[in-house]
Each structure stands twice: as C-alpha cells, then as structure tokens.
Structure 1
Amino acid sequence: MIVVCEYMSPGGLARLQESGLGVFYDPELWKDRAALKAHLAGALALIVRNQTRVDAELLAAAPHLRAVGRLGAGLDNIVQPDLEARGVVLCHARGLNATAVAEYVLAAMLHLARNLAKAAAHVAAGGWDRSAFGGFELAGKTLGLLGLGEVGLRVARRARALGMRVLAADPARQPWEAVVEDLGIELCEVPQLLARARFLSLHAPLTPETRYLIRAETLTQMPRGAYLINTARGELVHSADLAKALWEGHLAGAVLDVVEPEPLPESHPLRGVPNLYITPHIAGLTAEAQEAVGLWVAEGVLRALGVEA
C-alpha cells in the first residue's frame, strides 16, 4: 500500500495506481496525525507535500515503510537522519517547479511596477485618473538575487530579457562560471546586494545562518523605496521588522509567497500592512509544474519499491 496524505497531481496518482500496489489517497489526511499513523501500519511508501512532518515519531507507526516521496523541492518537514536510520529512501522533485517560481517572481515585479489590480479597482469604483497609475519600467532597474540556484538562474534569465541589471550573492557560485558569464550576472557580497538592489528576491535555503537574514539591520541597508520578494522560506524574513519597514515607508512594497507560520494567523504582524501582497504559497503550483512533480515522485517511489517503469 502507498499512502498519499496531501494533494497529488492526477498524472502522478494514476501512475501509482497502475503499479498494482494499492493506493490510499486522501489529500486531507495530513490534518489528522492519528489517522495517518493508522493508515501507515501496513504502508510500503508515504507521499507528502509540505504539511506533513516526517520524523521518527511518524516512522514508528510505519514498520514496513521503504520510501517517502516529497511533492516539492523543500525538505524542511522531512527529518532526513530519521529516514536514514530506518533505511527509508527519500524521493523528491528538486528543481521541477523552478520555472513556475521564476515566472511568479517576474509577475511580482511587474505587479509592483505597474499595479494593475489597484488601477482596475480604481476604474471599477468609477474612477479614471490616468496620472495616478503610470508606474515605472523594469528595464534599467537592478534586481538582486539572494541565492543563485535553479530558480535564481531562471529569474536572472527572464530579468535580463527585460533589460534589468542582475546582481547575485551566493557563496556556491563563481564569476567565471559559464552560466554566470552568459547571463551577465554580477556576483557580490550580501551587503553590496542589499545596498544596490531596487528589487530583492530571496532564493536561499533555510539554514541557521540565513534564518531572519532579512531583519531590521539588513532592511535598513536597502535603498529607500526598494521592493522585497520572497518565494523561498518564510523564516528568511523577520515579520515584525518587515512590517515596520513597510509602515514607515522605507520599503515601497513587498510580495511574499511564504510566511512564518503558514497559514498566516489573524493576529500576525503582517496583517493589514500597506503595500504588502501575500499569496498562499502558490509560486510553484502551476498545472505544468505539479504534473511534472507528481510523475517524478511517483516514478521515484516505485523504483524504490522495485517496480519497473
């Protein structure tokens, strides 16, 4: 039996069902940990997204488990040493939603620059003030990328096509790398990135060093009127400090697809903040990305269980 306790694309689910191993699919099962444990008693594999914490406590309820599939790139909810201790294979879809996330970042920059939603709402309310919604062009503006992995590179390629200057800070990258040279990306240290970027887009992993990297101290290093976009991890940003920077007008706006915690509580400091746009962790959820991720994870789990394609 393969247990899928969060949403999985139809194609990926169909591939699992073709295997003949038996599939229990309930995209809401993650909400009831006791019920999930009960279903894992005879399971050979478990497939999750980002809501289910897979740790020793959960694995103890799954004595026959041989594989865990993660429908996405991040592994914050997977305690990998616990899987390794049990000999459980981990299959995840790193990078398959990179194009979707990159296009989200592009959409966020265009929204911040032109704000079509506010202009449309103005007209819907009976207005026609053309001088209030001209916005500005992305061409010639500087984009700073904090992290230059698969998503960051795709963002850089698209931003360069629009005529933007692109800076990046990533200790794993070197200026002589072909991809960095070909895309015309200028590598720099984080303080330089913060000081020069009109748009700052976060693409760093969550580590002890990057937790709350964007906080009062670093926000003040950004130019007044700059914009922040975060599609990486909510914990990269100190929420209260970001709210203060927006309320005081130091930042002109921000788009967050990830927050801490998720979902956002009613009493959270980011509620009601001006020029802040929060989406429910959807950057990588295009139909194309989800189908690719679902198929990739399904095939990986089946291989781990000894099922040939």
Structure 2
Amino acid sequence: MLFRALADENIPFACEALGTVAAEVRCAPRGGLTPADVARADVLWVRSVTPVGPELLEDARRLQFVGSATAGTDHVDRAFLRRRGIAFAHAPGSNAPSVADYVVAALLAVAARREEALRGKTAAVVGCGEVGSRVARRLEALAPHLPDGALVTDTGAAKQPIARHAAEVLPERASFVGGHPIASSERRGETEPDATRFDGGTYLLCPGEEASREAALATRQLREHHPGFLALAEATGARVQVRSPAHHDRLCAAARDLPELLAAPLTDVISEAAEDAGDHETLLALTDPALRPLVWGRQAPSAERREELVAGEGSLLDALGRYVRALQQTRRHLATGDLDAALSLGDGGS
C-alpha cells in the first residue's frame, strides 16, 4: 500500500527511512508542523517538541498512523487518536542504554570536578524503568566499593523485588532502605521539577523485612541508624511513614494498581452497552462524571508503569483474588434480593 508520510524536523534519517516504504515523503519545515502540513499525510512521525492532538489534527482526514521517535508520550493525546481510529506507536527504551551510560559518566565527571570520591555517597535511582533499571545495574558494579554503614535507597513503586535484589547484590556492610515519595493529590500528574512537589504528601520508607513490623519501632530504629537519611526524607515536606516492603506492596496493589487494572474490563462493559444500544451520547450522559476520565480518557500505561505493575504482580494478583471473591458475594446477595447486604460490602463489610 502506497502512502504519504510526513516527518517532524530533526529526526535523523527520517526521510530516508520512510522513503523505502512511502510513495511520498515530506520533512517538516523549520518552525514546526501546522494543521495544513498534516492534512495531506497518511503517516505522521513526530518528536516530543510537537504536541499531537485535536489542534494539529483538525484537518487530518487521511491520517492513519502516528509514530513518535521518543520513549515518552506526554506530547500525544492518545485518547483522541483512539477516538479517531488512528494507530499509534512509540519507542520505549530506545535510548535507555545510552542514557544510563551518560548518567554514570556524569556522576564520575561531577565527582572528578569536585575532587570527591563516590565512595561513601548514597545513590538514589528515581524510577526503575527503562533507564533507571539500567542505571541500577551499572551501579551494582560499585557495590564492592561501598564503605561500612553505607545506605542505598530508591524511589520505585514496588518494594519487595528491589529489596530482594538489594539483599543479593549489596555487601553486608551496606544497608538498603526503600523509598516511595508520593505527591499530594493536588500535585499528582505534574512533570516539571519543583522543590515543593511533595509538600503535604507522603514519603513511605521501607527498610528490609528484617526490620521491625511495628511502625513506631521501625521508625525509631531508622532514626537511630540513619538519622541523616530520615532528615532528608522529612526535608521534602512530606509526612514520613515507615512500612515493611510487603506491607507497602499490599497497600499499593489494593489502592492504586487494582483500580487501574479494573478500568480495562469496566471500559469493555460500558463500551459494549453503548454499541448494543447504538447511543454513545446518552450513555456518556448517564455515566458518573467521576468515572468518565477513567473510562473514556484512559491511556495505555507508560513503559515504566508497566514495569511497576509486573514487579508488583504477586501483590496485585492477591488483591485481584480478594476483589473477585467480594464480587461473587455481591452477586449472590443481589440474586437473593438482599440489596442492603450487597451495598454493605463497599463499606468494609465481609
């Protein structure tokens, strides 16, 4: 099938690559793409500098596919593309090895410039996705050089897998304390760096499973052995709580991962009802406003989010099993006409 392709500016070899399969290839002029540029295209290839949404695609009646030469997708309105039936793909992890090498090289360069040794420093990997996981593996090579009493931390969302990995690779003289900073509800979703991001939020600290399971005692132990790290966490402006990795993952699976997983079948049920009735407009009006973004604005998880869900698979499966059992009990109550019993399940009932 012959098609017309349009490539964003500054994508190396874009026109040459597309020219092997497209009947016509155009590269965007300096200054960025316009709706008029896209109107004649069947295929669009962009970078992160170009927002892709209704404004750019208002006249793109021919467009069948959008590709982004990036790992991230913040610049793409994927829900809009789905509504228009436009396929989409991006390149998660494509630059990850190079970026990981750069991060480690930058650490060494900064240490050399300051005439400081990395020995004795704490390495915190913020997000263990495509890049972060590779940085973590490279930093493993530094583990034999950690001094006595060194502390290693992270900021990922799944604690048990990283705690087990830390126990395997870190020397006995070093300690691992997992961290999970959570912004307040008003600040979630923000992407720009901000020193006040975690003001009013929560910072969960997760020592190894050998630490006390009693929160107050675990906090005292942490303050005794790592007062500087605890002070650093408190300096973010967040409320610090200490939980075991297993306890953290159970809560995370139930409160965050499970609702995200359930959005997919819920979307299928609602969409099926709309298709059967042939009345999307009425169905949208009937849907609770709080559910509309979950159902119609739902986007595919990022590569990092996918890794978090896979890492927490055990806790998520356990939470899903409990939810399925609760649904089955709710169904039995409804089938016998006991509406009060069915509704009480959502209020902490059996």
Match status 1:148 vs 2:128: yes
Please tell me whether the aligned partners of residues 175 and 181 of structure 1 are also in contact (alpha carbons under 8 angstroms).
Answer: no
For residues 62 and 217 of structure 1, do their structure 2 counterparts lie closer, same or farther at Cα, with a shift above 3 Å needed?
closer
The one-letter code sitting in structure 2 at the alignment partner of 1:18 is T
Can you list the C-alpha shifts for 1:249-278, whole angstroms capped at 9, x where unaligned?
A: xxxxxxxxxxxxxxxxxxxxxxxxxxxxxx
Tell me the secondary structure at the aligned position of residue 56 of structure 1.
Answer: coil
Greater relative CO, 1 or 2 (CA 8 Å, sep 6+): 1
Match status 1:188 vs 2:178: yes
Alignment match of 1:67 (pick from 65, 68, 80): 65
For residues 98 and 180 of structure 1, do their structure 2 counterparts lie closer, same or farther at Cα, with a shift above 3 Å needed?
farther
Unmatched 5+ stretches in structure 1: 116-132, 192-206, 225-236, 238-309
Alignment match of 2:28 (pick from 9, 16, 26): 26
Partner of 2:319: none
Alignment match of 2:7 (pick from 4, 14, 19): 4
Match status 1:159 vs 2:149: no
For residues 109 and 68 of structure 1, do their structure 2 counterparts lie closer, same or farther at Cα, with a shift above 3 Å needed?
same
C-alpha displacement at 1:157, in angstroms? 1.4
What percentage of aligned pairs have identical amino acids? 32
For residues 46 and 214 of structure 1, do their structure 2 counterparts lie closer, same or farther at Cα, with a shift above 3 Å needed?
same
C-alpha displacement at 1:223, in angstroms? 6.2
Partner of 1:264: none
CA RMSD of aligned residues (A): 3.6
Can you list the C-alpha shifts for 1:149-176, whole angstroms capped at 9, x where unaligned?
A: 1111111111221345642121145336
Paired with 2:134 and 2:37, the residues of 1 have a C-alpha distance of 40
Paired with 1:179 and 1:66, the residues of 2 have a C-alpha distance of 44
Tell me the secondary structure at the aligned position of residue 111 of structure 1.
Answer: helix
Paired with 2:197 and 2:86, the residues of 1 have a C-alpha distance of 42
- The number of equivalent residue pairs is 189
Please tell me whether the aligned partners of residues 4 and 47 of structure 1 are also in contact (alpha carbons under 8 angstroms).
Answer: yes
Superposition TM-score, scaled by structure 1 size:
0.52
For residues 5 and 17 of structure 1, do their structure 2 counterparts lie closer, same or farther at Cα, with a shift above 3 Å needed?
same
Paired with 1:91 and 1:183, the residues of 2 have a C-alpha distance of 36
Paired with 2:169 and 2:69, the residues of 1 have a C-alpha distance of 30
The one-letter code sitting in structure 2 at the alignment partner of 1:170 is G
Match status 1:174 vs 2:156: no
Paired with 2:177 and 2:86, the residues of 1 have a C-alpha distance of 39
Paired with 2:169 and 2:5, the residues of 1 have a C-alpha distance of 43
Paired with 2:169 and 2:94, the residues of 1 have a C-alpha distance of 21
Unmatched 5+ stretches in structure 2: 182-186, 204-226, 230-235, 237-350
Please tell me whether the aligned partners of residues 43 and 62 of structure 1 are also in contact (alpha carbons under 8 angstroms).
Answer: yes
Superposition TM-score, scaled by structure 2 size:
0.47
Tell me the secondary structure at the aligned position of residue 142 of structure 1.
Answer: coil
Higher helix share: 2
